Structure formats: structure tokens, C-alpha cells
Amino acid sequence: MEYIAALTPPVVMAVAFTALIVTIVKSQGGANKAKEDAAVDAAIARAESVRQKKES
């Protein structure tokens, strides 16, 4: 039974890593891509406006 205890952590980590990769791949493109791009564009615009206010 020690082999089960020895194999459990690597198997759990492999499953978690696979789930992470699947999630990353699924979030690349489609409606999520447009939403993420809009969020990044908004953050850049905020940073630019703050920088311009500091320079004025």
C-alpha cells in the first residue's frame, strides 16, 4: 500500500497541471479574447491618463 501513497502526489499534480493547461488553452480566443483585450486596453488608457496628469 506504500506505493499508492508514493504515487498519489505526482498523479494529483499531473491532473492539476493538465487542468491548468486545458483552462489556458480554452481561454485563448473567442469572446474571452475580446474581453481580455478590452480590459488590457482600459488599463493602458488609465495608466496613460495618470502619467499625462503627472507630467502636466
- Residue ranges per domain, the chain? 2-55
Mean pLDDT of 22-40: 82
Q: How confident is the model at residue 20 (pLDDT cuts 50, 70, 90)?
A: very high
The yes-or-no verdict on residue 40 having pLDDT over 80 is yes
Q: Is the pLDDT of residue 25 over 80?
A: yes
Residue for grid cell 491618463: 49
Q: What is the pTM of this model?
A: 0.50
For the chain, give me the number of helices (H) and strands (E)? 2, 0
The C-alpha angle with vertex 20 and arms to 17 and 23, in degrees rounded to 5, equals 150
C-alpha cell at 10: 505526482
Band of the pLDDT at 1, cuts 50, 70, 90? confident
